[in-house]
Structure formats: C-alpha cells, structure tokens
A and B are shown apart, each in its own frame.
Chain A
C-alpha cells in the first residue's frame, strides 16, 4: 500500500483513531498473495492470482465498541472515524475490553 510497510500503515491508523478520540484501539494488518487454480470435471477452468492488504481497526469508548476495515490506503482515516462513530453510537457492554 503506497510503499509503506504493514507496521507503518497500522501505526498511521492507530494514531488516526486516537485523533478521533477513541479511549482504546487495536489495529491489525494483513498482506496476502494467493494463487488459485480451479479444476472441474477433470478440466482446468481458470487460474487466478490476488494481492491484497487489509487494515482493520477496533475502537473502544468506555465499554462501547466499533469496528471498521479497508484495503484502501487513502481510506485509513475514514476507517478510524467509522470505528469511533460506531463505538459512540453503540450500547455499552461490560464484556467489551481489549485483552493485553
């Protein structure tokens, strides 16, 4: 994603989530390359390759939680904002904690 490492993208998203005033947040990143070959009725149907980087963010405000994810490097701030908006609007639940 735009020449940045996965860790840099995660850090950027975490900082953005803090700016949107989440009490706590966790961010995960995943970069995947897959190759798939499909064979049906003993004949090759299609060969496929895929490359994708995903960033997911979970935001907590008190015991309220929201989640957002994206594969678009230009949408990291919007994902952070969405997670915070969802958390703000959600009911609190005692079970919502980030495990350390």
Chain B
C-alpha cells in the first residue's frame, strides 16, 4: 500500500496528501449487571487532501484499488478547484517540515490482541459486579472498556512516507451511592497508548472499582462548604484539565486566527515564572500517554512544543498551513481521527513541566484552603480561557494539614489568571486525562497532566 500511495502521490499534479487507515475498535459497556454494548468496528479507507489554487479539497474512499484511490485524488482536486473562486483568503503555501519516513510500531510487551474479547467482557462484568457488591449503599454501577487499534500510511507529494501503528485502550468505572434519596457519585478512569497490561500498570481494575465505591459512599456523608477565592493544591488531573481545556484550545493556531485570547501575545508574560506548559507528541516523563503521536497526519515528525516558557507565551500549535501563515515551523499538531476526516489542528499530550516542590510542602504552606483531585461532573472552557470545572474530590486544608472531604465543589476563573497565581510546582508527574476523547468537529485521543501545583482559584460551593 505504501508503494501504491507513493506512486500515486508522486504522479499527481500539484500537492496531494494520501492517508490509508485501517482501524479496529472494540467497545464493551455494562450498567447494573446488564450488557449495554458489546461491539467491534472495522474501518478501512483512504483520505486524500489536495491543494489547488490556494484551496484545500478533500475526498475519502473505501475502494482501495489503484483506480479507486486515483478517483479519490481526482475528486479532492476537483473539490478544491471548483471552490477556488469562492475562497477569499487563499492558502499561500505549506511550511516546510521534517517529514517522517519509515515504520513506527506500538511499543508494548503485551499487545491488545493477545487478550481475547471474552477476557475483556468477563473483566467488565466482574468489575461491575464488584462495584455493586462494594457497599449496600450502591444503587447503580457502570463499567466500560474500549480500544482503538490503527494502522496508518501517510504519504505526501513533497516527501512524507510513514507507516504507523497505534493502540489506545481505556477503562472507566462509575459508582452511585444513595441514602434517603440523597445520591453521590464516585468514578475513576484510565486511558493510555500501549498494551493491555500497560493499561493497569498504575492500579488494578479492582482498585479502581473500590476507589469509586469508597468515594461515592464517603461523599454521601461529606458536608457542603461555601465558595470563595482560595489557595488550593491541584492534583495532576486538574492541572491537565486546566492545561488542555482552558489553555491548550486558546493556542490552537486556527482558533488564534479566529480571535482567541492569545492572539498577538507571543512573547508576552501570561503566567508565573514557575510555569512552563508544553504539548508533546512523544510521552514525556511517564510512558504511555494516551495522546502519544510520533507522526502527525500531515506526515510531520512530532516533538515537544513549548507553549509557555517560564511564564512567557512562546508558541501556538500549528499545522503546515498555519505555520506558513505565521511564518514559523510546523509543530506536528495536524490530526485526523478517521480516514474520512481531514487533518485539523489538535492537541496531543498537554502538561505543565515539573518543578522542585513536594506535594507535602505545598499543602504545609496553606493555612486555609483545599486539596483538589480530578475532574468530576464535567466542565466548560472557552477561547477566552474562562473556565468552570466540577471537582471529583475536594479536601479542606487547615493549618497545613489535609482535613475533611467536601462535596459539590467547582472551580472557575480565567486560566491565565490562575497560572499567574502559581507559587509552587511539584516535582512529581502523572498523565491523567487519557480516558475518553477531545471533540472539535471530529474526535482525537489526547492526554494531559503534570505535577501538583499550588495556586489561587474561585471555588464554587453551597451558599449559607
């Protein structure tokens, strides 16, 4: 297939990009002991993007014959050329890049295919049962396992020729406890790039289930507290949410051109000196980040992109088109979820670099505040970096010590204001946002994380 695509690309008129993708997904979901979904999907096709007269055209096909792929190339070129007269701001060119060539395998000693469907289904059923047996207060349980396995070949007429393999499994548990009509929810999830045993390397499925049950039951007895602006220590999960949702989207170059808050602010101080925030294709500090991407869907070899360096905004996230527009090098952020999607600018693994403080030191330095852990109950952020996120676990800090569990806590504010308030960055590091996907017209598997940080946020609670 690589040779066929390369022959077609090299013989084409003008610039073309061809992506072959064979995808296999498995999904198993159980709720309250009842199987809600058990399915497999196999998708195979070729996506073609052509640049004609300053306009992109895109076509995809499931016909993998030479005739079928050449037909898709002609359709993409035709879509571009007939659109050219309607395009006001023409694409002036594509930035040069370090193109990937060769084969990029999945790094694991325990491939997903070594574990049959029956084993995965039995695991999901067993963990769902464990949650319901975990406490008499549990009234609802939900467990799901999903995996995506990809083979991709990316070829462009100007030099990319990469053959990639990818495997991204994830696992989620949810427990709902109830007493006298009052309900509380406990959850845990993990998602990675790698093999089956890599998925549970940090904690077993049983530990995840037990954690969800304990949290749901404990939250039933936890008090509400009033809101306000307070000093907090955020765990790597919330640092990841802040980095991805509230900062990362504002530096995607297409959103910058659309007027995001970071527009025109390269070189401007936007955060504390202690904050260096990055987005990386390869996993950094810890292996198996779920957004691991060694080559992007334009065939560009990925590296680490420093977005904020010691508090100063240094870079946006780019495709080849946006890099040419801004006069910089591509950052390897052009991604397409399926063969029938065209590459657009997406994050990969977004994080804050570790610092020098310990978690204990950060907590010890707070007279009155909170220790906050994990995203719970969803959230929202926009291109102005304004955000509001639910918190999965919130603990009071009094006189430098962690105290009681508190329920119903949210955090909100402007993400750049929060980053300016950072006065300590932990020396630890974890990826925490690997389960699930990021949506932007099409899905992308991403990850996010970092160390613990200490900062000031607005807490939402229950007014007296």
Residues of A within 8 A of B (CB): 1, 35, 37, 40-53, 65-72, 75, 78-79, 82-83, 85-86, 88-91, 93
Contact = CB atoms under 8 A, between A and B. Distances in A.
B117 A48 contact: no
Given A46-B56, A86-B39, A89-B122, A72 B117 contact: no
Contacts of A88: 118
A35 B57 CA distance: 11
10 contacts: A37-B83, A44-B87, A50-B59, A69-B39, A72-B22, A75-B42, A83-B40, A85-B118, A89-B117, A91-B125
B79 A49 contact: yes
Given A86-B38, A89-B118, A89-B122, A51 B60 contact: yes
Contact of A86 (B60, B121, B340): B121
Contact of B40 (A40, A44, A65, A82): A82
Contacts of A65: 35, 38
Q: Which of B38, B63, B76, B79 has the most CB of A within 10 A?
A: B38
Contacts of B37: 67
By Cβ-Cβ distance, the 6 closest A-B pairs, closest first, are A47-B79, A70-B42, A89-B118, A82-B40, A72-B44, A48-B58
Given A49-B75, A70-B41, 19 more contacts: A1-B62, A40-B258, A43-B89, A44-B55, A46-B57, A47-B82, A49-B79, A51-B61, A67-B40, A68-B41, A69-B40, A69-B42, A70-B42, A71-B42, A71-B43, A71-B44, A78-B42, A79-B42, A89-B38
A40 to B, nearest CB: 7
Interface in B325-341: 340
Contacts of B42: 68-72, 75, 78-79
Most chain A beta carbons < 10 A, residue from B40, B56, B88: B40
Contacts of A1: 62
A90 B39 CA distance: 11
Contacts of B188: none
A50 B56 CA distance: 15
Interface of chain A: mostly helix, strand, loop or mixed: strand
Contacts, number: 113
Chain B interface category by residue count: 35 or more
B121 A89 contact: yes
Nearest to A76: B42
B447 interface: no
A75 B44 contact: yes
A85 to B, nearest CB: 5
Nearest to B120: A89
B230 to A, nearest CB: 39
A76 B116 CA distance: 19
A71 B57 contact: no
A46 B35 CA distance: 41
A90 B117 CA distance: 10
A91 B258 CA distance: 50
A66 to B, nearest CB: 6
A52 B339 CA distance: 11
A5 to B, nearest CB: 15
A86 B40 contact: yes
B62 A47 contact: no
Contact of B59 (A37, A49, A68): A49
A91 B35 contact: yes
B115 interface: no
Nearest to B118: A89
A31 B88 CA distance: 34
